[in-house]
Amino acid sequence: MSERGPANTAATVPHTRNPLPALAVAALATAFLITLLLVESQVGIAALIAGAAIATIAAARQGLLTRITAGLATREDLLGALCVAGVLVVTVFFHEDHFVLLMVATLILFVVATLGLNIQFGYTGLINFAGSSFLGVGSYTAAVLTMHTALPHLLVLLMGGVMAAAIGSLLLLPVLRTRGHYSAVVTIAFALLFKTFLEVNDILGGPQGLAVAGMDLFGWSFNDNIVIGDDFELSFYANYVLLSLAILVVAFIFVRRLDRSWIGLNLDAVRLDETAAACFGLNILRWKITAFTLGNFLIGVAGALYGMMLGFIAPANFTFGDSLILVSIVLLGGLGNAWGLVVATAIVVIIPEKLQAIQEYRFLLYASMVILILLFRPQGLIPRPLRTYFPGFRTR
Amino acid sequence: MSGDAAPLLTARCLSKLFGGVVALDSLDLDVFGDDILGLIGPNGSGKTTFFNVVTGIYPASEGEIRFDGRDITNLSTQAIYRSGIARTFQRSRLSLPLSIFDNIMIGNHKRLNHGLWFNLVRRRAFQAELEENVATARELVRIFDAPLSERLLDPVGGIPMIDRRRVEICRSLISKPRLLLLDEPSAGMTGEETRLLMDDILEVKSRFRDLTIIIVEHEMGVIERITNRCVVLNFGQKIAEGTYREVAADRQVQEAYLGME
């Protein structure tokens, strides 16, 4: 990839290029995911989750985790490719299972959305408690556009992002005029307002919601099962897994490059000390607007495809509680760490779905997870490493 | 020094009021090119306020500031930085979770390309700019401390106070400003560390020919050693001006510092 650049320049002295850690982690994660999704008994699932948690803590205690992450840092492209392969393996493995594939696609779209939130919150320090509302803006845009226009569906996805960014810009004025907690309160107000607005608005279906047409990509209808040969049939949700995976890959590379650039540095500077940043010429408003808009765009794109996948959306899908879940994913994963988001989203999306016993108490679970993380590991499950502008970046 | 040359920075009748408190009281001050000007005075005499007004953090209540012949009164902090004034802070304001290199690059904002397309898509071009800046930053840090220049990717939060001060000064110098404002660089350091840092500052001064420095300092030994001219403030007014020896002998200055009647 062009990320790596010429091999023997001053800034990129190649050192450990061992592919083993990436291979091992990806294989292990895939195998664990498949087992977890296969097991039906509640006791079995609980045992698997507890086992994974204990193994992780033990590895961290032994210092193994730091060594693995250090090994992965130089092979991020490979790890990414292997994770994509892992998702494909899971998809083929569960090819007939609608429920699992819907869950996988949801997970992937949530990662895209939290990547957007991460630009705002993790990098720039703008806390957005209306993440789910912007997801909703994307979904409702998709619903209206597919119902009333013949716009190609890829453009519908793009419009979902554009609409979220545009509606976000309405929020910009109060968000930029306030700081810290107060701008967070503004986004909370927006989240509540958005849901109420949808409920009383008859054109948008009111509390009953709207039907959204399924994705149709150049005549390839996503709501039909994929039939290969005579007897191999994939659930139609596999279509959504593939497309959301493609979107995630683009979004992930985008966010990684953003972080590893002067822009990422500017966003950090704004978060850490606005006054000092302004003394060195940073236009604080410009970078806050950039972060807020880019973040909402990503959330909106994810929302548009999410709506098309669900087929039916209602205000109850986009509540303040859902926004809190998105924020807790960012906190859990490690503020500013894109890889951490993948792990955290998997935990938050899969565990309550599989452990039916705690389904009722999932908010309690999220809340206690956030409190525990903030108390004992405020930097998140996978803390954000120092900025390396390129893999293997050295200053000598 | 003063001679006939036009001053680099002039303040005329500069006042700053916070409610009823007069922090700067019709201050007239000239700084000439090549000066190391010491700005001294008791606590609360308006030294840091003067820096904050010059750099645009606070708007002036009255008066005028000219830099290099141009009126910069009440310009934005960003515009003042671009015109060539950089500063350090009394309470070191580095971004602790970031690396030394990142912190220094924050100071180089005006010379970096911030376009989305350049940063995200043209990664080769970005890498070329990055490597150029790595080399510049390393050269600059080497003036201060050679071992430190080999550790540019260490987090600032993990290095000792004197190195943090050095990084902070590097952050201000990287954009090649014409005027450097140092706000109590010795704060929180031992006598020996202060001496080393002053060596660094004199070394910087000898290398950057047209750099002018204003330094706020409480350590009179530092002032005596490195400044060629001093201005003494008390209650926001200038009460004396001259070489360190002249102002130290001044009766008003002694009264301000020791409270003699």
Q: Specify the CATH number for the domain of residue B49.
A: 3.40.50.300
Q: What whole-number percentage of chain B has pLDDT above 70?
A: 97
Q: Is A5 on the interface with B (CB under 8 A)?
A: yes
Q: Do A10 and B135 touch (CB under 8 A)?
A: yes
Look at residue A7 and tell me whether its pLDDT is greater than 50. Answer: no
Which residue in A10, A261, A282 is closest to B109 by CB distance? A282
What is the rounded average pLDDT for all residues in chain B?
89
Whether residue B181 sits in one domain with residue B171: no
> pLDDT tier at A134 (50, 70, 90 boundaries)?
very high
Whether residue B61 sits in one domain with residue B183: yes
Q: Is the residue at B90 inside a domain?
A: no
Choosing from B151, B175, B199, the residue where a domain stops is: B175
Q: Scanning every residue of chain A, which has its alpha carbon at the shortest distance from the alpha carbon of B122? A: A2
Choosing from B149, B175, B201, the residue where a domain stops is: B175
Q: pTM of the prediction?
A: 0.90
Domain that holds residue B168: 95-175
Nearest Cα of chain B lies from the Cα of A33 at a distance, in angstroms, of 33
Q: Is the residue at B255 inside a domain?
A: yes
- Quick one: pLDDT at residue B119? 92
Q: Is A273 on the interface with B (CB under 8 A)?
A: yes
CA atoms within 13 A on the CB side of A50: 7
Map residue A269 onto helix, strand or coil: helix
**Number of structural domains chain B divides into:** 2
Please report which residue ranges of chain A form alpha helices under DSSP H.
20-38, 42-61, 64-73, 76-93, 98-118, 131-148, 153-177, 181-200, 237-259, 262-272, 274-279, 284-310, 320-333, 338-354, 356-359, 362-376
Amino acid at A96: E
Look at residue A231 and tell me whether its pLDDT is greater than 90. Answer: no
Nearest Cα of chain B lies from the Cα of A396 at a distance, in angstroms, of 7
Q: Is A73 on the interface with B (CB under 8 A)?
A: no
Which residues in A lie closer than 8 A to residue B150 (C-beta atoms)? 395-396
Nearest Cα residue to A315 out of A201, A199, A192, A204: A199
Whether residue B242 sits in one domain with residue B127: no
**Can you tell me the mean pLDDT for A318-332?**
91
Q: Do A396 and B171 touch (CB under 8 A)?
A: no
Query: What are B147-185's pLDDT values in tens digits?
Result: 999 999 999 999 998 999 999 999 999 999 999 999 998
Q: What whole-number percentage of chain A has pLDDT above 70?
A: 95
Q: Do B131 and A9 touch (CB under 8 A)?
A: yes
CA distances to A3, A153, B41, B248, B255 from B258, in Å: 63, 79, 11, 12, 5
Choosing from B156, B175, B194, the residue where a domain stops is: B175
Whether residue B181 sits in one domain with residue B152: no
Q: Is the residue at B34 inside a domain?
A: yes
Which residues in A lie closer than 8 A to residue B106 (C-beta atoms)? 265, 269, 276-277, 280, 282
Q: What is the largest CA-CA distance in chain B?
A: 69
CA atoms within 13 A on the CB side of B254: 8
Whether residue B187 sits in one domain with residue B243: yes
Whether residue B215 sits in one domain with residue B111: no
Q: Scanning every residue of chain A, which has its alpha carbon at the shortest distance from the alpha carbon of B58? A: A275
Whether residue B199 sits in one domain with residue B70: yes
Q: Scanning every residue of chain B, which has its alpha carbon at the shortest distance from the alpha carbon of A286? A: B114
Whether residue B184 sits in one domain with residue B156: no
CB-based burial of residue A371 (10 Å sphere; 0-12 exposed, 13-18 middle, 19+ buried)?
exposed
Nearest Cα residue to A183 out of A310, A65, A276, A285: A285
* CA separation for the pair A342, B189 (Å, rounded): 44
Structure ipTM: 0.91
Question: For residues B47-81, b (16+ Cβ closer than 10 Å) or e, as one string?
Answer: bbbbbbbbbbbbebeebebbbeeeebbebebbebb
Mutate to test the interface with A, among B72, B119, B169 (most CBs of A within 10 A): B119
Q: Is the residue at B210 inside a domain?
A: yes
Nearest Cα residue to A95 out of A215, A222, A220, A241: A241
Interface of A with B in 310-339 (CB under 8 A): none
Interface of A with B in 126-185 (CB under 8 A): none
Which residue in A269, A276, A386 is closest to B89 by CB distance? A276
Question: For residues B225-251, b (16+ Cβ closer than 10 Å) or e, as one string?
Answer: ebbebbbbbbbbbbbbbeebeebbebe
Whether residue B162 sits in one domain with residue B193: no
Whether residue B256 sits in one domain with residue B191: yes
Whether residue B142 sits in one domain with residue B79: no
Nearest Cα of chain A lies from the Cα of B127 at a distance, in angstroms, of 8
**Can you tell me the mean pLDDT for A46-58?**
88
Pairing of strands B179-183, B62-67: unpaired
- Quick one: pLDDT at residue A15? 52
Q: Classify the C-alpha dihedral A14-A19-A24-A29 as positive or negative.
A: positive
Query: What are A351-363's pLDDT values in tens digits?
Result: 888 887 777 887 8
Look at residue A44 and tell me whether its pLDDT is greater than 80. Answer: yes
Whether residue B139 sits in one domain with residue B154: yes
* CA separation for the pair A91, A132 (Å, rounded): 26
Which residue in B102, B116, B123 is closest to A387 by CB distance? B102
**Token pair of B79, please?**
């515009």
Q: Is the residue at B89 inside a domain?
A: no
Of the candidate ranges A103-112, A151-160, A381-390, the one whose mean pLDDT is the lowest: A381-390
Which residue in B76, B119, B152 is closest to A262 by CB distance? B119
